[in-house]
Chains A and B, each alone.
Chain A
Amino acid sequence: MTSFKPWLLAAILGVWAGPALANLNVFATVPEWGALTQELGGDKVNVYIATNALQDPHHVEAKPSLIARARAADLVVATGAELEIGWLPLVTQQAGNPKVQAGKPGYFEAAPLVPMAEKPTRLDRAEGDVHPLGNPHIQTDPRNIARIAGPLAAKLAELDPANAAYYQARYKAFAERWTAAIVRWEREAVPLKGIPVLVQHKGFPYLLDWLGMKEVAALEPKPGIEPTIAHLSEVLETVRRQPVKMVIRAAYQSDRASQWIAERAKINVVVLPFTVGGDDVAKDLFSLFDDTIQRLLKGTQ
């Protein structure tokens, strides 16, 4: 620190200014928004996805790798609704990147753009891991993806006006393909209408609502609280009175509880990818829903 080193300053500034000249650096908290940003941004965006499909997005730590990536990000795309409350505020604050702090133009939240389900009427931690703004697992309904795509494309255009027309064109193409795909999925999923199911975690209200399926009970006694034998026995009782076709769990969850109930109630376990990368087939948003519908259909057999 005793002598001024111009080369050091130049090197630091060079590194700092480098990414700004190239593509938009996007930090997506979960795979679904990473995939959507990639669809809309094409080769004009560098997408970093902070978590993978096998991680519980509630329970992530502010890891050094996340802080480093948030430092250079032009845009953070998050779910919101307190899904990332345990780690994202800490990551953006420690990264010292004012562009992507909550409320700034470089911070985008998906949840405020869709109608939220399961808003709790009683806010009390005795009810488990409750989310005051509603269930944050909004990506399981493709109609929500459609609602978010437009504003996200507009956000990309706002941050990178030089490529506004490009994002607009990609959005149009995506919206057309997506609308067609929703029609196809809804046609394929007709046999699922009215099917009663169990869920392990309350992670699928949007999916079940879209397909007209019926959630009879959850294996977790309270959201985010691991299933207990006492509660599972109650669920088993319920299932004996009110038969279900299958029990659904997300890829990141432990298989023990769903296996336990499936053996006793003689029902299928359906492991859904939950998000992009949740299994070998769900490689992008389209194959995510292709695979989800196929797995559910198989579960009814």
Chain B
Amino acid sequence: MAKPSLVPRAVFLALALSLSPPLYAASDAEVAEIREQLRQLRESYEARLQALEQRLKDAETKAKEAAAAPAAAAAPLPAAAPVSSSASGIAAFNPAISAVLQGRYANLSQDPEKFTIAGFAPGGEIGPGRRGFSLSESELAISASVDHLFAGNLIVSLTPENTVSVEEAYGVYTAAPYGLVPKFGRFFSGLGYMNEQHQHAWDFIDAPLAYQAFLGGQYANDGLQVKWVAPIDQFLEFGAEVGNGDGFPGSARNKNGVGSGVIYAHTGGDIGASHSWRAGVSYLQTRAQDRDYSQVDLAGNDAQVGFNGKSHVAIADFVWKYAPNGNAQNTNFKLQGEYFWRRESGDFTYDVDGALGLTNTSAYTSRQTGWYLQGVYQFMPYWRVGARYDRLDPGHVDYGTNAAFLESPAFHPERYALMADYTPSEFSRIRLQWGQSKTQAGVTDNQLFLQYILTLGAHGAHKF
């Protein structure tokens, strides 16, 4: 950077040298001529300066007139809205960022390590979580428009075990015709009512038993979703998804093509100013390959069993919300319920000790159901109480020739929960939840949870 400064200096020196000699040698005549030239130069510049000054004055007047025009409000104004954001520079394009901090204290009378739901294959994230104080998952969400065609959304979950998982990472194509909304990447499926909600938005600390038993807690897709809302006054929404089928009740299979499919329809509306509702039906079809887990057999061995085959899940869901005059600020009530059916058919392998001691593979079919119903009542600003009941029906399980080793389940798992929460603002919530969980015959887990949820950053959306 030091060198370039030499160049102007050299030029200056050369100019000075080339100009100075004639001045020394100037005669009177030459001096007069130079004076004359200077005078002419000055005059011509003055004329040009005056012209420039005049142009400046004209421009200023025009600008003033333009600024004054909107004040004369008689004629419709140009609709161009002024730029409302004063953000500028590099930070102006920062996406919306928010973080959710969660933690809890749990008092569980049964060992959560031994949690199973009798008669139902385990998978995904199930169970009440660990005892004592612990951090729940912390969530980091980033979203923004990508360009004129796409919007993007990333939600990562930081687990208390110091691992990171991508909960959702999807793009939305915003320029699709006919009201289609295509979404692609990883996303929570739109099936059921609660599935799309993130855990911090739930009304209870844990997922309903039916979600745990049939979807492993929550069903996410790596794939493509298309939603469409009918352009009529009644809300009518259709959705279809294809994915890789890795999520429970399916499992990862090393194959090309589509691994799972989901379709659903939702409808809803208002009844008067005080009531609103939504109801829907959903259907999921996926496949599991070597979905292995351990199960106690008739002889009391901890046998290893595995399922290969098709899984079909159907869900009927509804939610009804009441708020006097639609004003949920002081009091409101929310009732929601979902009913699950699942049918699985394929091969079932029994392995007495997990080391191929005695194995048997047979045809297998199962038809199982489950449901939950919950109500949450806000009785004064900031304070809510809620109750939930969960129940699963082991239904009919046909083990084929494996019936010689395995007993068909007959126990009905169920769970009760009561909660009270305090929400001093849209961004914080503290919850106390008590429950009794009977997921195995003769075993009752008395559960007490204390939970906090703090949201910081970008304003969250008020999802229905």
- Residues on A lying within 8 angstroms of B by beta carbon are 12, 15-16, 19, 51-52, 54-56, 59-65, 67-69, 71-72, 80-82, 85-87, 89-90, 93-98, 101, 108-109, 111-113, 125, 128-129, 133, 146-147, 150-151, 153-155, 157-158, 167-168, 171-172, 175, 224-226, 252-254
Chain B residues lying within 8 Å of A168, measured Cβ to Cβ, are 76
B457 CB to closest chain A CB (Å) equals: 9
Taking a contact as CB atoms under 8 Å apart, the answer to whether B270 and A71 are in contact is: no
Tell me the dominant secondary structure on chain B's binding face: loop
Please name 16 further chain A to chain B contacts, defined as beta carbons within 8 Å, in addition to the given A64-B464, A68-B236, A226-B381, sorted by A numbering. A19-B231, A52-B273, A60-B326, A61-B462, A62-B461, A64-B237, A64-B278, A65-B270, A80-B84, A90-B463, A95-B229, A98-B174, A111-B84, A151-B78, A151-B81, A155-B79
In-complex Cβ contact of B276 among A63, A158, A224 (8 A): A63
Q: A224 — which chain B residues lie within 8 A by C-beta?
A: 425
Could you say which of B151, B232, B381 has the most chain A C-beta atoms within 10 Å of its C-beta?
Answer: B232
Chain B contact residue count (CB 8 A cutoff):
60
B90 CB-CB contact with A under 8 Å: no
> In the docked arrangement, what's the CA distance between A277 and B291, Å?
60
List chain B positions with a Cβ less than 8 A from chain A. 73-79, 81-84, 151, 172, 174-176, 178-181, 227-237, 266-270, 273, 276-278, 321, 325-330, 381-382, 424-427, 456, 459-464
Q: Are A64 and B268 in contact (CB under 8 A)?
A: yes
**Are B82's CB and A112's CB within 8 A?**
yes
Asked whether, in the complex, the Cβ of A254 is within 8 Å of the Cβ of B464, the reply is no
Give 7 closest A-B pairs by Cβ, nearest first: A64-B268, A64-B235, A68-B235, A54-B325, A96-B181, A154-B76, A90-B461
Asked if residues A254 and B462 are in contact (CB atoms below 8 Å), the reply is: no
Q: Smallest CB–CB gap between A182 and chain B, Å?
A: 12
- Interface contact A150-B73, CB-CB below 8 Å: yes
- The residue from B81, B175, B270 contacting A98, defined by CB atoms under 8 A apart: B175
Could you pull out 9 A-B pairs where Cβ atoms are within 8 angstroms? A54-B326, A61-B321, A62-B463, A64-B277, A68-B234, A68-B236, A101-B174, A151-B78, A157-B76
CB-defined contacts of B321 to chain A, threshold 8 Å: 61
The closest CB in chain A to the CB of B459 belongs to: A85
* Partner pick for A95 among B172, B179, B382, B462, CB 8 A cutoff: B179
Contact of B79 among A52, A69, A81, A151 (CB under 8 A): A151
When distances are taken between beta carbons in the complex, the residues of chain B under 8 Å from A128 are 425
Contact between B229 and A71, CB atoms less than 8 A apart: yes
